[in-house]
Structure 1
Amino acid sequence: MTGRTTLTPAPLAHLADSRRQALTELLDRLRTDSGAGVVTGEPGCGRTAFLECAARSFTAGPVVRVRAGAARARKPYHGLRALLSAAGCPAQVAAAVHGAVGEVLLGALRTVADRGPVLVCVDDAHLWDAASRAALGHAAAHLRTVGRAGLGLLLSVPGHRPPDREFAGLPLLRLGPLTPAEAAALLDDATGGAVDPAVRDQLVAEAEGNPALLLALAHRLSPAELGGRRPLPRPLADAEVLTAVAGEGLAGLMPEHEDLLLTVAAAVRVSHEPDADVESVFRAAEGARGDAGEPGPGTGSAPGPEALPDALVQADGRVRFRSALLGRTVYAVARPERRRAVHRALARALSGGHGVLALLHRSWAATAPDPALAAELAAAATDALPHTLRHTALARATELTPDGTERADRCLAAAEQALLAGQLPEALCLLDTARRHPAPAVARGRAHLLRGTVLLADGPVDDAHASLLLAARLLTGAEPERAETAALAAADAAWAAGDMTACLRALDPEAPTARTADTPRLPSGRHALLHDHREGMRAVLRGRFDLAVVPLRRVLDRCRDADDPERLLRCAAAALLLGDVTAARRASARALAAARALGSAVLEPRALEYLAYAELRAGRHALARTHAEAGLRGAHRTGQRNTAAHHHAALALAASIEADTDLVARHVSAALDSARRHGLAQAATLAQWAAARADLGGGRPRDAADRLGPLVRPGPRRGHFAVWMLAVPCYVEAAALTGQPDHARTVVEDFALWAACDADPQASAQLLRCHALLAPPETADALYRRALDRHEDTAGDFERARTELLYGKWLRRRRRLREARIHLGAALLGFERCGAHRWAQQAGAELRANGAAPSGSATGQPSPATAAELSRLTPQQLRIARYVAEGATNREIALSLSVSTRTVDYHLRNVFAALGVRSRVELARLVEQAERTGAAPPRPASGEETRAQL
């Protein structure tokens, strides 16, 4: 037993979305034009897997695949022989040896291309012999001259060294690191989902997006370690693992380069920068060689680029590794005494003007606790430094501090900086270390405040709530402002969990966590802002919006000139509670700018979350999507899964406007995954609402009603207390369209109470629309008109267009066609303005049924552009549509396809929704016109293939 985990090879179908997009674009170009490209990246980035995926994805013709073998690749002409043989041109091998090898290879490729499109993949082309590389480079550079489309040549070379001159001028595709989400998915695929979520996060962070390193780390661990039942080894990526992944890049290094490489690796490791000052590094490398008794270069000046080893690159007075992973490997494999010597040399080289960096290098050269050095490091960790560097300095000070109480204090300070830098797992590790040392109640209170804040961003929010309440109790009296912060954060955790009782308890002004006898009722400064926010939140939760306005307005006033991102986020939250969307957008944007100015990686995604929700409330869905996409990247980068869940929910809501069903489903699934594991009721309710709104946009009101009914009706499954009412207008519409208006009357009464609070600028118009949907004909007309008048007072094309669409439908069914055409046309324009494409299709279908042609055609028949939308149907939907066009009944279609009539009915409803048609006659006309104009896709396969796809 080795104790290591056996991994299942990741399927080639599992390719990161960013890489799949690059591959698709590359293959699309090669299908229409001849060309060559070079795929590169650091060791372990997945070059071979990328080429294999390209080979399997290329369906236009045959694929020729050649991979260099390290043992024989350097033999003269070996690479050329292998390629010509694989291409089916063995007779030209002898001619290549005795002639112009480049022209011979080009001629062979021309011959292969005569038979149709072909893709040639050469993996590890840098390992070929010189003559073969020259021939390959010549052929790649002149590939366009073959005069045939569809001849593609893909090469892979490593990115930790300069490209060979033969390939230097070719288009380069550099494979970047995987995102945390992509890396987590790869790890789950390889291990069958056997990795504990906390362990998975640590592995993903340690691998830094490198797929080979990620899999090597997982292979190193035992099943018990992967499952979280045993502690992980430290360091996770040791010299053995790093050498296995990137050791090839160290082959062939000159002895005189070892100290320079190690010096650069040490400088980058301490500074957390991608590069280092070349002069300081060169002086330190020379000093390290002198400490070891070895002769140095004796110049003391910066080397020119030609003097650097291939693994390094120099530009603008800075030097860096071409591959960051190679730098990590160089540092890991060095002997400890050599690493300490290099750090001492760097400390001397940097002592002139880089105080904290010099101290850090001195700390890495120390072999025992050093109280004096620890005190210097703690004093140097000032506000002027980035959070990451402050965290590093305080963490090293902690390790060099022997005293228990002082060590715990510095550990807490380091954890706070780690949190602000977005290094949440490191913050938790430091808090665990601090817990092992005795500390007074105030220090324990600060630790629980930090832990609760971390868990609020990435963990079960019930645990965060408990930790924050404990922090508030421990800090009351001694640090009232921190106690107030903890109590309000505990309310935030309960809010996220959807626990109104716990939220009110945390906000209770008589609770010991909120106030002592010495705490004034109306304090000043930051304490006053927190006090007012608590008063306002408590009033909102009790339904007393009249009492909430004054304290929440004071919160906005107190933040008018603030530059603290956390205060500005409180301001944004207060504005959203008030329904002041403009103030919420302004405060969120300022919080984002302030977080970026301070370099607070953990606050950026939170600011973008508030900004995205504010834009959604304002009806600016495209902007909301832009902010949520940026916030999602930041949340993944900093490990804030709870924040990421909210961004997924915001993206699902934005996508539901466009009714992009697949995109909505992906974001809803991602949001619910974290919501279920961490108790995020608010994010879950928003995601479910987004899914239902996409159903409505896709013409599936019954599905929307089934999804929304439990969410908005009273009962144990009702959604989050602050969110469910936002979904009421969608539920009322779905219930009315499915002939179940009585199911919605009770929730409309509840929604009326919400609308009366003026916390949502759209609510009053939505309420009138809901009443119109449920009203008898004699009163519905006036209600629709009043709703449209109310929309004039608010921004947002989408909600107004929905009211126009429903009113237009109502008018058309009462044969008031002229009026219907006006409102349906306004709905179509409104949906087009806000990018709601599926909703626009509904409006267009209603216009056609009304006798108008939204495309400009006077006949009202489907236009060729509309007919081309048949290509959006799945193969099964297309088969059913063609059967309908031929006049078959649902039962006849079911018998033909060996499925149930219910399945046919389900697919047919989706076809109607996707194409925006309302009847079988209209669908038949659309299919006939598509086939007549050539806009229809080819007929899908039938028989066994048909049954397999069912």
Structure 2
Amino acid sequence: MTGQTTLRQRVISELLDTLRADGGVRVVTGDPGCGRTTFLEHAARLFRAGPVRHVRPPGGRAGEVLSDALATAGTVPLLVCVDDAHLWDAASRAVLGQAAARARSARVGLLLTVPGHRPVDPELAALPVLRLGPLTAGDAARLVDDATDGVVHPAVREDVVSAAEGNPALLLALVHRLSPAQLAGHRALPRPLADGEVLAAVARGGLAGVPPERAGLLLTAAAALRATGEPDADADLVLRADGTGATEPLPEVLVRAGDRIRFRSPLLGRAVYAGAPAERRRAAHRALAGALPDPDGVLALLHRSWAVTRDAPALADALARAAAAPALPPVLRHRALTRAAALTPDDAARVQRCTAAAEQAVLAGHPSEALRLLDTARSRPAPPSARGGAELLRGTVLLADGPVDDARESFLLAAALLAATDPEAAATATLGAADAAWSAGDPVTCLDVLTPVPVAPVPGAGAAPSHEAVLGDHRDGMRAVLLGRFDRAAEPLRRVVGRGLSGDEPERLLRSASAALMLGDVTTARRAGARALAAARTHGRTALEPRALEYLAYAELRAGHHQLARTHAEEGLRTAARTGQRNTAAHHHAALALAASIEGEKEVVAEHVTAALRTARRHGLAQAAALAQWAAARADLGAGRPREAADRLGPLVRPGARRGHFAVWMLAVPCFVEAAAVAGRPEHARAVVEDFALWAACGADPQAPAQLLRCRALLAAPEAADALYRRALERHEDTAGDFERARTELLYGKWLRRRRRLREARARLGEALMGFERCGAHPWVRQTAAELRAGGAAPAGGEAGTLSRLTPQQLRIARCVAEGATNREVALSLSVSTRTVDYHLRNVFATLGLRSRVELVRLVEHAEKTGARL
């Protein structure tokens, strides 16, 4: 199945869910090349509730054909598919409109497709529209892999995905344009990759019928959009610059809303600009520059830059000065600096401007564009300081969205280039290399990178500590943690935490959150993460938000607040996707898998584990991979599959070449010991318990001392286990988190029941049940309830038909659906696939004995009005 099919199937699943139940109609539309016909074909194949009828252009027989199709509808749902309804004559389209009104009452689903780059015909204008959006980056990448049998070079794939902007037809056209050598990365790609010929072929007849005298207006509008990078432009500016005296745009192609103007399809705007002769493009930019009120403003300067044909140092300098305006958004600043670099003849200055433009591209959420600019900088001769700055930024980009080994090498090169001229930047690069080695799970390299170097003294008594001193403390603390010397790590890491929390600089606050997590101070880590998130938003540093949310999610997980962790990770996943940070997204997927493993949502766990591992394996993210595997194992353990959990975790926690990430394996040890003991393999766990004891003694994990006692109890002789379980419960009193305490209560309760100490067992199991219910750990609730029943006690169950019987995820979905959200809208809000929502919704209906969404809405409304427990 192709990536395109994967995306469309998600949308189709949501659509067919509605059509199966109640019938209805959708007008499916979208940009040229979006795959309307393919969408219809997939919908027909996936609709299994009844027959499917394809109605072709009728040539005057529309009423007869549709009446015949609708007459077959009865108790069995019917799906009628009409492709390219805009090609029908007006009378036939009127019949379609009448058929649409009958569709719901007749339990008929009616799907019509029309192009999205022209107004919907009046006969169909009142019908509900389903617009096919662009492919996600992940689905587009999979479509490229399918089309090339997986032989495409990763960098080429990213270039193609970026140039296609999610359009399936354009994506395939670009792939077919490239030779095998270009696809494999052995030869340079054509620039621009999506040229006028390719864009015109995909746009096909989208511009047909435009009068020649109005072509200039289209080009002027396309040139105006090129400068801003926004979906619309100033309508009055475009009409003034056009110079033909036109007072209104072309409604078939251009749409005006108030004082803004836009193309009905962005693809058409790209095709207009790329297909125009170079001199006409330059003339359009000159006209726009002249029509702007401020000749020295950034927009006027940008248009002038596209009107010149050679180096223009004075114009480049003016653009660089304009880009420094504080209120300028990153997208516009990036464009100004990119053009300034292109017009700069001096190599050193060009490299610096390329690097500055790349930094703005990162802030705007375009890492692939940043890397292209840095490639340009790397190809030019420049002094070490300029080259070092470019490599430092390259490492930063790759650490968030690329192979972390490559990020490490860029950081190390930057540190070497900057050591003599900028010690503070060199220290930043060194710590970045350590971060990359940490992500890769390479402690040897991490320690080597963190070899102590002299830190410049802080000048002036009472002066604020330099950023270099903060980095030095973080480096020293991180090295001590890797060596297991937490006694040496505490002081420098606490200084990092304190200095970060004393201000509102997002980067320092992120360092504070990281340092607090290494110290095991989850309360401070949560505080620093929340402050970093607020500071990033206040300062417009959107690219830092996913990392702040990552630290928040992990801190909540460490504190045992799994649902809060889920909330942060869901938001972080959306922000990471928006800013092009796949590595950070992988960590959010891992956090979501860990949270879902508590709640027993196996489909959600599997989905997030797969997503995390896909990026982790491609980019060498050992930490994210280990967390995802731990989540999968914990889901196995909760579902009563201890042998599978032990088999999955064994290689990650036991000594050997396959042991997982050094910052994760010790966190997963208690899960492995429990799985091994319950599976009847206690001998497999004894060695790792002694390793875990060293970790627990460090004081970096508040839960570890109680978990260690629980692990020892699981492996101990009967005469010793009782006291160990009691001591473990006493240590749990010192820490927050219902889940870990409830797990100890459950295991102790099981131990007591098997020794016929039933009254004590029921007391422990009752405490465990309440703890698991508080944190929504439904698999463990079921295990505990079974143990209580086996011991002669019946746990109280939820009233039949009430929402209390749903899992937290099912309850979230039920509430969203009751508020009128479609399955696709629910999936987007919860960062899961529509298929997962469909799966959970079927379970909701089965659990509550419901037959329709209407009944679900009534049940939710009743619960809210009566104050029933949700």
Q: Same fold (TM over 0.5)?
A: yes
Q: Deviations over 1:605-628 (max 9, x none)?
A: 222222221221122222323332
Within the candidate set 175, 179, 195, 2:132 is matched to 175
TM-score (norm 1): 0.80
AA partner of residue 93 (structure 2): R
AA partner of residue 313 (structure 1): V
Cα distance change of structure 1 residues 322 and 827 upon mapping to structure 2, 3 Å threshold: farther
- Residue matched to 1:434: 377
AA partner of residue 255 (structure 2): V
- Residue matched to 1:712: 653
AA partner of residue 453 (structure 1): T
- Residue matched to 1:312: 254
- Residue matched to 1:388: 331
Within the candidate set 529, 543, 550, 1:602 is matched to 543
Query: Aligned equivalents of 1:589 and 1:354: distance in 2?
Result: 40
The answer to whether residue 5 in structure 2 is matched with residue 14 in structure 1 is: yes
Q: Deviations over 1:84-137 (max 9, x none)?
A: 6xxxxxxx47xxxxxxxxxxx5x5454221473211011111111111111111
Query: Aligned equivalents of 2:495 and 2:630: distance in 1?
Result: 32
Is the CA contact (8 Å cut-off) linking 2:458 and 2:465 kept in structure 1?
no
Query: Aligned equivalents of 2:423 and 2:802: distance in 1?
Result: 70
Within the candidate set 485, 489, 504, 1:544 is matched to 485
Is the CA contact (8 Å cut-off) linking 2:4 and 2:135 kept in structure 1?
no
Query: Aligned equivalents of 1:601 and 1:736: distance in 2?
Result: 46
Is the CA contact (8 Å cut-off) linking 1:12 and 1:53 kept in structure 2?
no
In the TM superposition, what is the alpha-carbon distance from 1:789 to its structure 2 partner? Answer: 3.0
Q: How does 1:356-395 map to 2 (within 5 A)?
A: 356-382=298-324, 383-395=326-338
Is the CA contact (8 Å cut-off) linking 2:674 and 2:711 kept in structure 1?
yes
In the TM superposition, what is the alpha-carbon distance from 1:726 to its structure 2 partner? Answer: 0.3
In the TM superposition, what is the alpha-carbon distance from 1:518 to its structure 2 partner? Answer: 11
Query: Aligned equivalents of 2:772 and 2:291: distance in 1?
Result: 64
Cα distance change of structure 1 residues 482 and 836 upon mapping to structure 2, 3 Å threshold: same
AA partner of residue 33 (structure 2): G
Within the candidate set 158, 164, 171, 1:207 is matched to 164
Within the candidate set 721, 735, 738, 2:679 is matched to 738
Query: Aligned equivalents of 1:753 and 1:201: distance in 2?
Result: 44
Query: Aligned equivalents of 1:585 and 1:462: distance in 2?
Result: 29
- Residue matched to 1:282: 239
Query: Aligned equivalents of 1:197 and 1:333: distance in 2?
Result: 29
Query: Aligned equivalents of 1:438 and 1:195: distance in 2?
Result: 31
AA partner of residue 6 (structure 2): L
Query: Aligned equivalents of 1:43 and 1:330: distance in 2?
Result: 14
Within the candidate set 79, 91, 115, 1:131 is matched to 91
- Residue matched to 2:184: 227
Is the CA contact (8 Å cut-off) linking 2:319 and 2:337 kept in structure 1?
yes
In the TM superposition, what is the alpha-carbon distance from 1:864 to its structure 2 partner? Answer: 14
Within the candidate set 761, 764, 779, 2:720 is matched to 779
In the TM superposition, what is the alpha-carbon distance from 1:399 to its structure 2 partner? Answer: 0.9
The answer to whether residue 156 in structure 2 is matched with residue 165 in structure 1 is: no
In the TM superposition, what is the alpha-carbon distance from 1:250 to its structure 2 partner? Answer: 0.8
The answer to whether residue 58 in structure 2 is matched with residue 31 in structure 1 is: no
Is the CA contact (8 Å cut-off) linking 2:654 and 2:688 kept in structure 1?
yes
Is the CA contact (8 Å cut-off) linking 2:320 and 2:337 kept in structure 1?
yes
The answer to whether residue 55 in structure 2 is matched with residue 66 in structure 1 is: yes
In the TM superposition, what is the alpha-carbon distance from 1:460 to its structure 2 partner? Answer: 2.7
- Residue matched to 1:899: none
- Residue matched to 1:263: 220
Cα distance change of structure 1 residues 669 and 11 upon mapping to structure 2, 3 Å threshold: closer
Q: Deviations over 1:283-320 (max 9, x none)?
A: 1122xx4xxxxxx34xxxxx46xx54222222242122
AA partner of residue 18 (structure 2): R
Cα distance change of structure 1 residues 825 and 65 upon mapping to structure 2, 3 Å threshold: farther
AA partner of residue 537 (structure 2): R
In the TM superposition, what is the alpha-carbon distance from 1:792 to its structure 2 partner? Answer: 3.0
Is the CA contact (8 Å cut-off) linking 2:600 and 2:638 kept in structure 1?
yes
The answer to whether residue 697 in structure 2 is matched with residue 756 in structure 1 is: yes
Cα distance change of structure 1 residues 863 and 633 upon mapping to structure 2, 3 Å threshold: closer
For structure 2, list consecutive stretches of 5 or more residues without a partner in the other structure.
Answer: 811-845, 852-870
In the TM superposition, what is the alpha-carbon distance from 1:727 to its structure 2 partner? Answer: 0.6
AA partner of residue 55 (structure 2): V
- Residue matched to 2:623: 682
In the TM superposition, what is the alpha-carbon distance from 1:519 to its structure 2 partner? Answer: 9.7
Query: Aligned equivalents of 1:29 and 1:420: distance in 2?
Result: 40
Is the CA contact (8 Å cut-off) linking 2:3 and 2:146 kept in structure 1?
no
Query: Aligned equivalents of 2:803 and 2:238: distance in 1?
Result: 63
The answer to whether residue 610 in structure 2 is matched with residue 621 in structure 1 is: no
Cα distance change of structure 1 residues 12 and 542 upon mapping to structure 2, 3 Å threshold: closer
Cα distance change of structure 1 residues 322 and 702 upon mapping to structure 2, 3 Å threshold: same
Cα distance change of structure 1 residues 866 and 404 upon mapping to structure 2, 3 Å threshold: closer
Is the CA contact (8 Å cut-off) linking 2:4 and 2:140 kept in structure 1?
no
Cα distance change of structure 1 residues 190 and 637 upon mapping to structure 2, 3 Å threshold: farther
- Residue matched to 1:916: none
Q: How does 1:775-924 map to 2 (within 5 A)?
A: 775-854=716-795, 856=797
The total of aligned residue pairs comes to 810
Q: Deviations over 1:187-237 (max 9, x none)?
A: 222322222222111111111111121111111112221122221111111
Cα distance change of structure 1 residues 832 and 23 upon mapping to structure 2, 3 Å threshold: farther
Query: Aligned equivalents of 2:749 and 2:681: distance in 1?
Result: 20
- Residue matched to 2:475: 534
Is the CA contact (8 Å cut-off) linking 1:12 and 1:49 kept in structure 2?
no
In the TM superposition, what is the alpha-carbon distance from 1:783 to its structure 2 partner? Answer: 2.3
The answer to whether residue 193 in structure 2 is matched with residue 236 in structure 1 is: yes
The secondary structure found in structure 2 opposite 1:761 is: coil
For structure 1, list consecutive stretches of 5 or more residues without a partner in the other structure.
Answer: 1-9, 69-76, 85-91, 94-104, 290-295, 298-302, 873-929, 936-950
Q: How does 1:282-681 map to 2 (within 5 A)?
A: 282-286=239-243, 289=244, 296-297=245-246, 303=247, 308-352=250-294, 355-382=297-324, 383-510=326-453, 515=455, 524-681=465-622
- Residue matched to 1:891: none
Cα distance change of structure 1 residues 328 and 776 upon mapping to structure 2, 3 Å threshold: same
Q: Among the aligned pairs, what percent are the same residue?
A: 68
AA partner of residue 402 (structure 1): P
Query: Aligned equivalents of 1:142 and 1:365: distance in 2?
Result: 57
Is the CA contact (8 Å cut-off) linking 2:84 and 2:115 kept in structure 1?
yes
Query: Aligned equivalents of 2:525 and 2:56: distance in 1?
Result: 57
Cα distance change of structure 1 residues 857 and 346 upon mapping to structure 2, 3 Å threshold: closer
- Residue matched to 1:938: none
The secondary structure found in structure 2 opposite 1:756 is: helix
Query: Aligned equivalents of 2:737 and 2:408: distance in 1?
Result: 36
Within the candidate set 135, 141, 157, 2:101 is matched to 141
Query: Aligned equivalents of 1:480 and 1:280: distance in 2?
Result: 48
Q: Deviations over 1:503-558 (max 9, x none)?
A: 22222223xxx647999999823222212211221222222212222221221221
In the TM superposition, what is the alpha-carbon distance from 1:353 to its structure 2 partner? Answer: 8.0
Is the CA contact (8 Å cut-off) linking 2:785 and 2:794 kept in structure 1?
yes
Cα distance change of structure 1 residues 504 and 116 upon mapping to structure 2, 3 Å threshold: closer
Query: Aligned equivalents of 1:176 and 1:845: distance in 2?
Result: 47
Query: Aligned equivalents of 1:337 and 1:934: distance in 2?
Result: 66
- Residue matched to 1:273: 230
- Residue matched to 1:913: none
Within the candidate set 30, 33, 38, 1:44 is matched to 33
AA partner of residue 748 (structure 2): Y
In the TM superposition, what is the alpha-carbon distance from 1:30 to its structure 2 partner? Answer: 2.2
Is the CA contact (8 Å cut-off) linking 1:138 and 1:166 kept in structure 2?
no
AA partner of residue 560 (structure 1): L
AA partner of residue 749 (structure 2): G
Is the CA contact (8 Å cut-off) linking 1:199 and 1:226 kept in structure 2?
yes
Within the candidate set 85, 94, 108, 1:151 is matched to 108
Is the CA contact (8 Å cut-off) linking 2:505 and 2:535 kept in structure 1?
yes
